[in-house]
Amino acid sequence: MPPAGGKNLSPSPKPSFIFRPPEAAFALIGVGAAVVLLARAGGSVPASREMAGGTVVYLSLLCSAWRWPIMADARVRLGINYLCAIWLYGATSRVTLALGSPAWDETLLGEDRRWFGETPSVGLQTYAPPWLTDVMSACYAFYHFYLHGMLIVVMFTGSSRAARHFGDCLYAGFAVGFVGYLLVPALGPGAAFPSLYDHPLAGGTATWLNAWLIGKGAAVYGTFPRLHVLITAILLDHDWRRCRRRFWWVLGPCLGLLASTLYLRYHYAADLLAGFAVFAVWRAKILRWSPSPP
């Protein structure tokens, strides 16, 4: 029976939400890395504390939706998961260093040589004028403009359903890439085998700016599978289905981006092929559990 005055003072039900599959994957990556670090390197290693603390913060932000309903909004979650993805991207290399995991560059180079005779970047050095290096560097940096531009567009102009679908697609790709970075750490041919090349690549402002971005934010062991390939393919697939005009506008720079990963000596052909293979599996599965909104 309600109290005097006719008001029902029973607590209102808590908002409900479920972890999306990519969110569960991010959490499992963090928990798994923290457990392995604690078991093999101990709790005194900074990477152990980082992975344990970062995962707790991430889960706390997700679970805060039970207290603050706005935290369950798909557009807010898109931002939360973006911050987690940025953190995990760099943290994978710190985990690799803390565990002393061996690099797989010899294996990846061997696969390139088995299938192509040599890793493609060695052959590409025969024609590498500074203007072409600048063009390739600009294309490589275009990845950041495309990714962050799409996030801004979806977060601030899209519906909640569109943001949920975009986040499912994007962060599922990142989760697969992070697992690859942890299991198959590699430096890339330019860093691992500098003796393969007759001279360093020369360029101008675009080359310098791209090198600065790589030095400040790239994962040291972030090579296999290539997220520049996988995430770009996911973004292009999204635009093909949702915004065909933008797809045609960005297709040229994206094709240059894919070529630049080899030309700039960042990756093996095996990295790119793995990125495309993961995308093919992703494309076959993603729309089943996260259908595109009308």
Which pLDDT tens digit goes with each residue over 137-168?
999 999 999 999 999 999 998 788 999 999 99
pLDDT value, residue 12: 42
Cα four-point dihedral sign 212, 213, 216, 222: negative
pLDDT at 101 over 70: yes
- Kindly state whether residue 11 falls inside one of the protein's structural domains: no
Q: What is the mean pLDDT of the chain?
A: 90
Q: Which domain holds residue 281?
A: 21-289
The model's confidence at residue 8, banded by pLDDT at 50, 70 and 90, is very low
Whether residue 17 is predicted with pLDDT greater than 80 in this model: the reply is no
The number of distinct structural domains making up the chain is 1
31 belongs to a structural domain: yes
Tokens standing for residue 123? 């052959």
Note whether residue 3 is domain-resident: no
The answer to whether residue 254 scores a pLDDT higher than 90 is yes
Residue 168 identity (one-letter amino acid): D
Torsion, Cα 78 79 84 86, to 10 degrees, reads 110
Q: Say yes or no to pLDDT of 265 above 50.
A: yes
Residue 6 located in a structural domain:
no
Q: Which residue has the higher pLDDT, 96 or 294?
A: 96
CA 258 to CA 235: how far, in whole Å?
A: 13
Q: Map 26-61 to HEC letters.
A: HHHHHHHHHHHHHHHCCCCCHHHHHHHHHHHHHHHH
- CA dist list (Å): 287 to 59, 110, 270: 26, 35, 26
pLDDT above 70 covers a percentage of the chain that reads 91
Question: Distance between CA atoms of 238 and 144, rounded to whole angstroms?
Answer: 16
4 within some domain:
no
Per-residue confidence band for 24, with pLDDT thresholds at 50, 70 and 90 = very high
How far apart (Å, rounded) are the C-alpha atoms in residues 278 and 229? 10
At residue 90, the pLDDT reads 93
* Domain assignment present for 8: no
Binning pLDDT at 50, 70 and 90, where does residue 95 land? very high
User: Tokens in use for 253?
Assistant: 């720079």
**What is the model's pTM?**
0.89
Q: Which pLDDT score is estimated for 10?
A: 43
Answer with the residue of higher pLDDT: 278 or 254: 254
Question: What pLDDT sits at residue 245?
Answer: 95
pLDDT at 159: 86
In a domain, 294, yes or no: no
